[in-house]
Structure 1
């Protein structure tokens, strides 16, 4: 993915003021920023859900997008969601989805209705729906929100395996506890991306 000089404003409030980034194959990148800094706006632009005021976004076309707020129907089961997305993605079967359920250890919930699940378990399903068609690019907004420690570790093990196969990640979060998994890490401050180890924001 190549992003150049992306700007976005809501009225007079300029949220993004010239964002540039490059994601090469097999890159695990992160963007950290305070709540309200524009992280979700940036991710929605990269996912094609929001049009920037100006700037260029070049993506591989096929991607997985995991929004912060899971778009799940509380009346439907986990299995029903998997079948809906199977049709949407045009997949011949659900082998990969079931494999991901096992990796994240919530296969036992396949027949449970979403309304009965905890926030962390819903987030696991949100992640599976973004991954089940094996996209080359993943855009993840607070993907491990609500995870316990074991699920958090399994998320990074899964990410490391996908990265090794050439998949690229962009993870946005309001806080990063461990910088080691990331190949690149930026802060979103004053509408621009700066390296996370650049406290002065000079780039």
Structure 2
């Protein structure tokens, strides 16, 4: 798909839980080869929106049209402490129907996680677990990537590597959407939205309150 052509179209999405309205007419486009962000406080509806986008939660009205292979990196990891990093890769290789783990190993190298391939998840730091979580979302080369607080627990070096990886994915034509409660590096984004009280609005990238991510020590 050509750069600039929408691969994810969201139109007038509404969602309520009983009498509480969570999303009120959310609409946006995510073109091919764009790095976009959605920022919002806790309770703003970010997790609900993401669950709808990945098909995990039905919407009340509106539409979501995804025209590419989807990758999703959830905030809550789907990892098992008893299994190794390598075993997780094998499980997801089977689920995705991949012929090899070449791309997965490349991602582990980019994120400085190769040395933990044979380590059990229960022995690893939160930052290292998040590296695997990100690798699992990317190893099948999705055309649309949805990331929920993707850099939580990263040390500073990995945090910078994450943004380099996100920019590389964009340059390859992948559409990347980063959802977070703060826009730490809004200037790195092509487009930024704010979700507040269920309403999504586009905002200037430099107008969002910036912050410094919480980082872990060695091994993250």
Runs (5+) with no aligned partner, structure 2: 1-7, 208-220
Aligned to 2:99: 92
- What is the CA deviation profile of residues 35-84 of structure 1, one whole-angstrom value per residue up to 9, with x for unaligned ones? 11110110110011111011100002521000001010111000000000
CA–CA distance in structure 1, aligned partners of residues 44 and 128 of structure 2: 27
CA shift, 1:6, in A, is 0.3
CA RMSD of aligned residues (A): 1.1
CA–CA distance in structure 1, aligned partners of residues 117 and 62 of structure 2: 42
CA–CA distance in structure 1, aligned partners of residues 170 and 81 of structure 2: 32
Greater relative CO, 1 or 2 (CA 8 Å, sep 6+): 1
TM-score normalised according to structure 1 size: 0.96
- What is the CA deviation profile of residues 113-149 of structure 1, one whole-angstrom value per residue up to 9, with x for unaligned ones? 1111111111110000000000100000000011111
Aligned to 2:162: 155
CA shift, 1:197, in A, is 3.1
Task: Say whether the 8 Å CA contact 2:22–2:45 is kept in structure 1.
Answer: yes
CA–CA distance in structure 2, aligned partners of residues 64 and 155 of structure 1: 16
Aligned to 1:130: 137
CA shift, 1:190, in A, is 1.7
- What is the CA deviation profile of residues 4-62 of structure 1, one whole-angstrom value per residue up to 9, with x for unaligned ones? 00011111111000100100000111000001111011011001111101110000252
Runs (5+) with no aligned partner, structure 1: none
CA–CA distance in structure 1, aligned partners of residues 166 and 13 of structure 2: 27
Task: Specify which of 39, 43, 46 is matched with residue 50 of structure 2.
Answer: 43
Task: Specify which of 193, 197, 201 is matched with residue 204 of structure 2.
Answer: 197
Moved over 4 A (4+): none
